[in-house]
């Protein structure tokens, strides 16, 4: 009887260790887009080889409410936009996918139209595709090490 209790005790410990001491596939977390690319900066490719006075830059933030901030330099100062998504006329912004190399969100406009913004990153290139009911645009951005925190002068807002 003692032998059977000993075997039961050993099997219980082995079973506990086999099921509780290793990580399952569910425990493996895939880094989300906003986490993975937080702080990266991107220059609109049509302005890539230009120096100011023409420059448009965005930075990705790990913030669902304000995932992108942007700077535009066209004249004598930088226009700073703490929420790049507000460049569109949104009423409601909803992130529908925030996975590894892809970010998708719906943008509901004041007139009820719903647009879809899809951002993907592959090999230091960010592709931004924006679909409204009657128009689709695509922008290509190139990763940059530009120091946006020291852009001066900022325009009066």
pLDDT digits (tens, 9 = 90+) for 63-114: 887 888 998 887 788 888 877 765 555 678 888 999 999 999 888 888 888 9
Residue 120 placed within a domain:
yes
Is the pLDDT at 14 greater than 60? The verdict is no
State the residue for tokens 């647009």.
115
Where do we find the tokens 């992108």? 68
Q: Is residue 82 part of a domain?
A: yes
Q: What is the CATH number of the domain that holds 112?
A: 2.40.128.20
The tens digit of pLDDT for each residue in 118-135 reads: 999 999 999 999 998 889
Measured between its terminal Cα atoms, the distance across the chain in Å is 83
Q: How many domains would you assign to the chain?
A: 1
- How much is the pTM? 0.72
Buried b (16+ CB within 10 A) or exposed e, 67-94: bbbbbbbeeebbbebebbbeeeebeebe
Residue 73 falls inside a structural domain: yes
- Judge whether 156 lies within some domain: no
Positive or negative torsion for Cα 40, 122, 83, 65: negative
Q: Is there a domain that residue 11 lies in?
A: no
Q: Which domain holds residue 91?
A: 33-145
Is position 155 within any domain? no
């Amino acid at each position: 009887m003692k032998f059977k209790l000993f075997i039961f005790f050993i099997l219980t410990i082995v079973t506990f260790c086999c099921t509780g001491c290793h990580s399952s596939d569910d425990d493996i977390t895939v880094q989300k887009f906003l986490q993975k690319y937080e702080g990266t900066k991107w220059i609109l490719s049509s302005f890539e080889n230009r120096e100011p006075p023409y420059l448009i830059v965005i930075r990705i933030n790990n913030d669902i409410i304000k995932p992108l901030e942007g700077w535009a330099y066209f004249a004598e100062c930088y226009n700073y936009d703490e929420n790049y998504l507000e460049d569109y006329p949104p009423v409601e912004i909803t992130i529908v996918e925030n996975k590894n190399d892809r970010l998708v969100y719906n943008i509901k406009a004041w007139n009820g139209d719903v647009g879809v913004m899809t951002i993907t990153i592959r090999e230091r290139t960010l592709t931004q595709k924006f679909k409204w009911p009657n128009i689709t645009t695509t922008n290509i951005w190139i990763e940059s090490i530009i120091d946006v925190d020291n852009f001066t002068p900022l325009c009066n807002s």
